[in-house]
Amino acid sequence: MNDRKMRNSIHLAVDGYGRELKPDPFLAARVRAQAQRKDGRKMKKIRFSAAFILAALLSLLTVTALAATAYTFIRQARSVQQEKGPLEKWTLEEKKMILEAMQRDGLALDEEKYAALEDAQGEAAQRIANELLLESRLPREALKETYGFEEASFSLFEKTVSIDEAAEAWVVAYRPRRWEERIGSYTVRLSAGSGRVTACAWSLDGLEENAFQPDNWHAAHWPMERVNRLLSFEADREARRAEKEAAEGPFEAWPLRDKAAFDEEILTQGYPRGDFVVNILPDAEDIPESGALAMAQAEAERMGAKEEERAAEQISFFLMPDDSREWLIALRGGYTVEIASPSGEVLSCAGPEKSEREESENTAQAADGDWIQAAWEAMKETYGLIEETRPFFSAQLEGENGGAKVTFTSKHYNPRLAGDYVFTLRGETGEILSSQWTLQEAYAQQGKAEPWRTARLWSAYEFNQEALLREKGRKIMAEAGSEVSWGMDFEHQAAYDTLYREAGFSRETYFHGLPTALDIPKEEAVFLAAQAVKEKYGAAEETLELAGPALAFDVTDPDAPVWRVSFLDRESMYAVALSGAGGQVLSCVRMDAGN
Amino acid sequence: MLAATGPNCNRSAGEEFDRLVERHQTALLRLCMVYLRDGELAKDAVQETYLKAYQALPHFRGECGEKTWLTRIAVNVCRDMARSAYFRHTDRRVTPEEMPDRPGEEAPPEREALAQALLELPRRYKDAVLLYYYQDLSQEEVGKALGLSAATVSRRLERARRMLKTALKGKWENE
């Protein structure tokens, strides 16, 4: 792999890895409020994750088994399943076909929802169909009762729903996302005829008791009680640490022995530490604390640290994930030194922030504009790109045999997805001598994807679609009088996000939607949210009136949409999540700018 | 470059800041996600990054690209957080295989493998790889950001490439 391929691959890998993270529309406002309150004091982080965590949990609730009678519909469902895979990949028509078969088989469907399905379109229709097909939550209840699952523990599992070979039962399987060998997997069977739970099984049922000993995470296998404990262990440690930090200051600044004592239980309990470091004390073979500090100070001095900048600020000694040991010493002047022990190798020495350097840009100079323009015109003509896509590309100009070579590379998308468009031009006339698109053959094999945004390789078609999409998005923003894509009123924001979702963009990023007839209206959502805040925090009516609300109908999970109502002022933010359909309060939290 | 549209033009600092948040938030989230391997921590890191940027904005003269500027801040924030107690003792990471499938958005296996191999690099190698290959800094700039000489950066990159090659085995040349 050459350097350029390496760069492309890493861009793709990193972009792909973080693709699920959605931008926070409140970030700019919150940061400003936080900065205004700072007053020279070090601020603690504001955490806004509770609602998102809950939303993630809820997403696991939605795909559950169907209370069904056997016969036609289940055979049809099996057939669709074999062809298309899980329910998420079924078309609306296929779902409607199954629902019709269910009616013919005598199943009583919710009449109100079934009627609403007739009138609904797009995502709303998909959601209603899913609800009609899969609204039982029996498997979760069965696992709670039989094996002691707690609600939070389901977050560790991935669920799949299938129909068994004999077409007699729905099989709901829960497989842990991590530590499968230790946790095992769970299965719940529901009779296709009655919809009742007929069996609950655990892959580790029948193991001898000693397989679960000792009673901590050193054991080869973990019953559900220990899995539950794993989650509470983290929370308990957080609470204890916070209490001690309140009295003694930040963890990093605690004495070495206190940090090691605090972390000791991680080792004794066998808590799966992954690649996290653990604070320990050095033993006789390790570099002693005084020696490590002297080495760190020498390194800092070499980097130009003055004497007063070389005083120790924080000293830690770590057991690393690979069981190597390492000193980490932070000095007052912002120098941080890592030293391997017992070898004494200086692993890194970072100084305080340096001034920024001029960013190197590989763009053509103005005098080269004619060459580039000529190549761009050829690019449009040859490959069908529209003018609006020009901002998507950067151009690189190189002299070649008295003429020029112009290469257009995508600025906004990874070059591996878009390829290079390369043109050679004759020296005197600027005539185009050759043109090449490096993905021509690969794209021909791939063909067009549906929706277009999901295509792995992008041709002119996808770039044109992208440009048109942005134009539509800009129009919605203009209608809303907004210059940013996340600052629109409720209806325009929903229209904007729907546009992007339907083009294949992530639902988590473009999560705003509109409620259907089955959901509570926004006025009711605001009322219920305000009630929840008043009851929980005693907030006054006038405070809430002044503070908002900001509204979102979050359709990240189309089967379980969530009303998100926030009351935001300069001091704090009340964030309430309500189920879209019933208005039940899923979470109600207050986040103060200073905590 | 920020200078052309930055604090010296007609926009207010607040508007400029909003633009910075809108334009770079997603890329910073992804970068922080790889450093911290946890979505919630990455969000925190981005918030902290923008807080520092907001405070420094009046002094930012557009001497470098805004992306480089924000990246430098974010890397330092991530390094601080990676050393913090919260990071060390809270196993809330998300790995690629834990992420829910999304029709049409599945990454090819080789990309997943590279992401996984990248995540598993020791931090000092991962730092160099991300800054050099993902943030497109020069080796000298990477060195300045990490407090290393350019020669050390070069050695670390070479070592990282070998480690990735080993981790990816036969998939390497096909990339």
Mutate to test the interface with A, among B11, B106, B111 (most CBs of A within 10 A): B111
Residue in the structure block whose two tokens are 């325009």: A492
Please give the residue of chain A at the shortest CA–CA distance from B87: A276
Taking the Cβ of residue A235 and every Cβ of chain B, the question of whether any pair is shorter than 8 Å is answered with no
Instruction: Tell me if B104 and A177 make a contact (CB, 8 A cut-off).
Output: no
**Closest Cα in chain B to A35:** B51
Residue A468 distance to chain B (closest CA, Å): 19
What CATH code is assigned to A366-438?
A: 3.10.450
Interchain proximity A348–B148, CB inside 8 Å: yes
Residue A287, pLDDT above cutoff 90 = yes
Which letter does DSSP use for residue A356 in this model? Answer: P
Place of tokens 């809950």: A54
Q: What is the pLDDT of residues A205-235, one digit of tens each?
A: 988 889 999 999 999 999 999 999 887 887 7
B14: nearest Cα among B69, B57, B46: B57
Residue % of chain A over a pLDDT of 70: 79
pLDDT at A55: 30
Whether the CB of B136 is below 8 Å from some CB of chain A: the reply is: yes
One DSSP character per residue, A134-177 reads: ----HHHHHHHHHH---GGGGGGEEEEEEE-TTSSEEEEEEEES
Span A122-163, pLDDT tens digits: 878 877 876 676 544 567 788 888 999 987 788 778 777 776
Complete edge-to-edge strand list for the sheet that includes strand A336-341: A278-279, A312-319, A325-331, A336-341, A346-350
Instruction: State whether residue A179 sits within 8 Å of chain B by CB.
Output: no
For B115-153, write each residue's pLDDT tens digit.
778 877 877 788 888 888 877 777 777 777 676 777 778
Helices A111-119 & A122-133 angle (0-180, nearest 10): 160
Can you tell me the mean pLDDT for A343-353? 73
**Number of cross-chain residue pairs from A and B with Cβ atoms under 8 Å apart:** 218
* A354 compared with A170, residue with greater pLDDT: A170
Q: B106-175 sits in which CATH class? A: mainly alpha
Residues A31, B73: Cα–Cα separation, whole Å: 15
Average pLDDT, chain B: 67
Q: What residues does CATH 1.10.1740.10 cover in chain B?
A: 10-95
Chain B residues closer than 8 Å to A38 by CB:
51, 55
DSSP-assigned states of every residue in B106-147: PPPHHHHHHHHHHHTS-HHHHHHHIIIIIS---HHHHHHHHT
Cβ of residue A294 closer than 8 Å to a chain B Cβ: no
Average pLDDT, chain A: 77
C-alpha neighbours within 13 Å on the C-beta side of residue A392: 25
> What pLDDT was estimated at residue A226?
92
Closest CA to A26 of A52, A58, A53, A54: A52
Nearest residue of A to residue B171 by CA position?
A: A1
Q: Residue B24 pLDDT more than 80?
A: yes
A5:B175 CB<8 A: yes
Chain B neighbors of A11, CB-CB under 8 A: 133-134
* CATH number of this structure's domain B10-95: 1.10.1740.10
Q: Is A278 an 8 Å CB contact of chain B? A: yes
pLDDT tens figures, A166-206? 767 778 888 887 788 899 999 988 776 556 778 899 999 98
Decide if B171 touches A, using CB distance below 8 A: no
pLDDT computed for residue A464 by the predictor: 92
Look at residue A350 and tell me whether its pLDDT is greater than 50: yes
pLDDT computed for residue B65 by the predictor:
62
> How distant is the Cα of A540 from the closest Cα of chain B, in angstroms?
29
C-alpha B34/C-alpha A579 separation (Å) is: 32
pLDDT above 50 for A362: no
DSSP, residue by residue, B71-114: HHHHHHHHHHHHTSHHHHH------GGGSPP-TT-PPPHHHHHH
A537 burial via Cβ count (<10 Å: 0-12, 13-18, 19+): middle
From the list B22, B85, B91, which residue is nearest A252 (CB)? Answer: B85
Inter-chain contact B85–A360, Cβ cutoff 8 Å? Answer: no
HSE on the CB side for B161, CA within 13 Å?
16
pLDDT score of A558: 84
Residue A415 has pLDDT above 70, yes or no: no
Whole-angstrom distance, CA of residue A101 vs CA of residue A107: 9
In contact, A428 and A435? CB cutoff 8 Å: no
| 3-state helix/strand/coil string of A289-353 | HHHHHHHHHHHHHHCCCCHHHHCEEEEEEEECCCCCEEEEEEECCCCEEEEEECCCCEEEEECCC
Of A15, A27, A274, the CB nearest to B91: A274
More confident residue, B166 or A43: B166
ipTM: 0.73
Amino acid identity at A304: G
Work out the angle between the directed axes of helices B13-36 and A3-17 (0-180°, nearest 10).
100
Residues β-bridged to residue A331:
A312
Query: pLDDT digits over B43-67, tens only?
Result: 888 988 998 888 777 666 554 567 7
Measured between CB atoms, does A276 come within 8 Å of chain B? yes
Residue type, A433: L
**Residue of A129 and A312 predicted with greater confidence:** A312
| CA A16/CA A6 separation, integer angstroms | 15
CA distance A594 to chain B (A): 13
Can you tell me the mean pLDDT for A541-569? 80
What are the chain A neighbours of B44 within 8 Å (beta carbons)?
A: 45, 47
Task: Note whether A5 contacts B: Cβ–Cβ < 8 A.
Answer: yes
- Flag whether pLDDT at A382 surpasses 90: yes
Q: Average of pLDDT values for B77-96?
A: 50
Of A7, A252, A484, the CB nearest to B84: A252
Tokens found for residue A351: 């100084």
Asked if B54 has any chain A CB less than 8 Å from its own CB, the reply is yes
The nearest alpha carbon in chain A to B175 belongs to A1
Whole-angstrom distance, CA of residue A462 vs CA of residue A447: 11
Residue of A nearest to B16 (CA): A28
Between A574 and A563, residue with greater pLDDT: A563
- Binned at pLDDT 50, 70 and 90, residue A354 comes out as very low
Among B47, B72, B102, select the one facing A356 at the smallest CB separation.
B72
Domain with CATH 1.10.10.10 in chain B: 106-175
pLDDT at A342: 92
Segments in A353-488 forming alpha helices (H): 369-383, 415-418, 440-446, 460-480
Per-residue pLDDT, A273? 72
CB within 8 Å: B30 and A266: no
In one-letter notation, the amino acid at residue A402 is G
Test mutation, B41, B46, B51, chain A, max A CBs within 10 A: B51
Domain ranges of chain A: 61-225, 250-350, 366-438
How is residue A512 annotated by DSSP? B
Which of A4, A31, A54, A89 has the most B C-beta neighbours within 10 Å, making it the best mutation to test the interface with B? Answer: A31
Contact A1 B175 (CB under 8 A): yes
Place A88 in a pLDDT band, splitting at 50, 70 and 90.
low
Please indicate whether, in this complex, the C-beta atoms of A30 and B119 are within 8 angstroms of each other: no
